[in-house]
Chain A
Amino acid sequence: MPELTYLEAISDGLRTEMRRDESVFCLGEDIGAFGGAFKVTAGFAAEFGPERVLDTPLAENAIIGAATGAAIEGMRPVCEMQFADFIACGFDQLVNVAAKLHYRQGQSVPLVVRLPSGGGFSGGPFHSQNPEAWFLQAPGLKVVAPATAADAKGLLASAIRDPNPVCFLEHKGLYRHVRDEVPAGEYTVPLGKARVAREGGELTVIAYGSAVPSALAAAEALEEDIEVLDLRSLWPLDAEAILATARKTGKVLIAHEATRACGVGAEVAALIGAEAFEDLDAPIRRLTAPDVPIPFSPTLEAAVLPQLDDVKEACGELLAY
């Protein structure tokens, strides 16, 4: 099996789906001749033509709105936000139009919004955000956040084939730092299914996106019997897998790079608290960014984003509880 970076796997997944189904097309800012701010669609315009790799004006509502209309008419649009942060500018079309159409009138809207998210490179308050929790308050959206290259490819393919709007959070910090074996050709990973990334019996770290490699690194460094559950899908959540691991280890740390209040961690903690309380041996803990914007200067940013040492420390405390 070929090894690909997370970024290459996203391109591979997208290219494979575009070859498989001619209704799949991409639209976004600077994605054609330039290949996108992060080069995910580099070479696509040459292979698929400019119509299917559509360079749009700088207008996020126009992008999501056009994708919604095209999806209703039978296309499978994949929108690229130049940075996840800019979804705020297309939010109305996403949450008010696309997300609610099926509930209101039985209209399926098969579209994907690719969201290059996350910090760690001095992107500052407008190029570093992890906006996933915004979407969880908008019923009708599915939300995925892969942590491995294989999942990035497989989840993207499933997102494209799904008949609903799917927010695809691709962490920029993983783009070139994560590399693993990715099946060649058509490959899907089901939405709504978590993955045990590391087996263990004493403690579970429930994570997604950039927190997954940190959790795995912490477990290795500590040489402890730690399980790591990679959520992969944030909505729908894999309640079964979450409860199974909580019951198995009795100690749960939930780690994510996004801010804390009302985040994915809060939802997961509430689920475990309600359904697996009797099986817990320690309070549920969360390791997240504090509730502040992501600052620019490297020292400030590092003080905000959870670091490997923070994960190790949180695991250590919970193991000792």
Chain B
Amino acid sequence: MTLSDASAVMGAAVPLDPALLTRADRAELLRYMTMMRTAEERALSLYKQGKVPGSFYDGRGQEAISVGAAFALSPRDRLCILHRDLGAHFVRGVTPDRYLANYMGRADGVTGGKDGNLHFGDRARGCVGMVSMLPDMALVANGMALAMKMRGEARVALTFFGEGSTANGQWHEAMNFAGVQRLPVVFVLENNRFAYSTPNELEFAADPVERAEGYGLPGAEVDGNDVEAVFAAVHAAVERAREGGGPTLVECQTMRMHGHGAHDDMGYVPAELLAKWEARDPIQSYAARLLEEFDFADEEVERITEEVRAYVAECAERALASPMPDPALAREGVFADRWEPLGDGAAPWSGWAEPTAPQPIDNRVERRAA
């Protein structure tokens, strides 16, 4: 069997208005992608040291997608972030210490030990944590978008899912409902070529992005390893949704560069396929582009990398210092006493740096200090 490699979209032209991103935005995009890579590398080493109970998953090679997509959102938008999308949590203001603590089941993890790995969403930052069942969160994002639409708010819900999840019946329910109700929702599909070990060829007969039209919504296909291309496509979809134009499916072509989880040696992935995508690493290629096209100096790029490394190292210390949760908490919190609204997330894109934007949150201050 020949496996799909997405060559069709590689190097595809990206219709991005260059004025949308400032120099500082570009530095931020690189910073967040680097933060995701560095934090996941640290988490993997903690896993290998036996400090992470259960299993370990990362989004290596897919950093451009969660960072580029989340970067297009305003503070009041809402997200359901999935298991390859750590960068989106960072963009919204979650700090690496809380991510690492969550992996280790510590009290200061985002869920305080109630749930593991990427199964979290920071309520204070407008996120609803994913469940394992895929792609359940697409239906929840629909519901948030439905509330926004009913109240006539110019807000958007965004969620991610892998290409494998598009085979599940709930994906059909989600697309159809969003299409019928013209919901202000953006679906970001990450086609990383595999669902666990199952390749595209055994997942579907028609590519999901081609199915979008059948649900009455536009589908856009982008190079998922190009952070600006992802940003451009998601930004356009978000603006469309905000203006009442309804949902969009954005398919990002990429490659899962690690196994499904740390336990998976990826024996089923041809070496040539990996090599081909290794050469298209989203972080290295963006760094190179900043130097070549956007006039960044080597030292600037290096400084971002160094600052992030130092910051993640400091966060790891904090996570390791966090205690295990009090066993008494295991019996608490099944029921709510009252409803409380989600908070607003950070929106670091300069496009939101208007007087209405929220005050900088702790994380941003910390990052600057780092």
Identify the A interface with B (CB < 8 A).
Answer: 25, 51-52, 56-57, 59, 61-62, 64-75, 77, 92-93, 96-97, 100-110, 139-140, 142, 163-164
Contacts and interface: CB of A to CB of B under 8 A. Distances in A.
A107 B115 CA distance: 13
Given A59-B176, A73-B143, A163-B338, A104 B111 contact: yes
B143 A105 contact: no
Contact of A163 (B111, B142, B146, B337): B337
Contacts of B206: none
B340 A61 contact: no
Q: Which of B114, B119, B123, B143 has the most C-beta atoms of chain A within 10 angstroms of its own C-beta?
A: B143
Contacts of B20: none
B129 interface: yes
B72 to A, nearest CB: 20
A67 B145 CA distance: 11
B168 to A, nearest CB: 10
B342 interface: yes
B256 interface: no
5 contacts: A61-B170, A75-B150, A93-B140, A140-B334, A142-B335
Contacts of A101: 128-129
Nearest to A140: B334
Contact of A102 (B141, B144, B170, B334): B334
Contact of A68 (B111, B143, B170, B334): B143
Nearest to B340: A108
B103 interface: no
Given A66-B177, A105-B129, A97 B336 contact: no
Nearest to A75: B147
B140 A105 contact: no
Contacts of B339: 71, 74, 108, 110, 163
Contacts of A93: 136, 139-140, 170
A70 B157 CA distance: 11
B267 interface: no
B333 interface: yes
B142 A69 contact: yes
B133 A96 contact: yes
A77 B140 CA distance: 13
Contacts of A71: 143, 339
A70 B181 CA distance: 14
B180 interface: yes
Q: Find the residue from B129, B148, B173, B334 having the highest chain A CB count within 10 A.
A: B173
A108 B339 CA distance: 5
Contacts of B111: 104-105
Contact of B150 (A25, A59, A92): A25
**Of B110, B136, B169, which is in contact with the most chain A CB atoms at under 10 Å from its CB?**
B136
B246 interface: no
A103 B334 contact: yes
Interface string B177-213: 1001000000000000000000000000000000000
Interface residues of B, number: 46
Given A92-B170, A96-B131, A96-B132, 13 more contacts: A61-B136, A62-B177, A65-B138, A65-B174, A73-B148, A74-B147, A74-B339, A75-B146, A93-B136, A97-B136, A100-B131, A104-B129, A108-B339
Interface string B343-358: 0000000000000000
A60 to B, nearest CB: 8
A97 B146 CA distance: 17
Contacts of A51: 150
Contacts of A96: 131-133, 136
A140 B146 CA distance: 24
The CB with the most chain B CB atoms within 10 A, among A72, A140, A142, A163, is that of A72
Nearest to B136: A97
A67 B114 CA distance: 24
A74 B342 CA distance: 9
Contact of B110 (A66, A75, A105): A105
Interface string B122-166: 010000110111001111111111111010000001000000000
Contacts of B114: 103-105
A163 B336 CA distance: 6
Contacts of A106: 123, 333, 336
A136 to B, nearest CB: 13
Given A57-B177, A67-B143, A72-B342, A102 B136 contact: no
Contacts of B148: 73
A300 B111 CA distance: 51
B78 interface: yes
A59 B133 contact: no
B87 interface: no
Looking at A51, A64, A74, which has the most chain B CB atoms within 10 Å of its CB? A74
Contacts of A70: 143-144, 146-147, 150
B90 interface: no
A113 to B, nearest CB: 14
A25 B128 CA distance: 22
Contacts of A142: 335
A108 B342 CA distance: 10
Nearest to B78: A73
A77 B150 CA distance: 12
A269 B121 CA distance: 40
A52 to B, nearest CB: 8
A67 B142 CA distance: 9
Contacts of A105: 110-111, 114-115, 120-121, 123, 128-129
Nearest to A77: B143
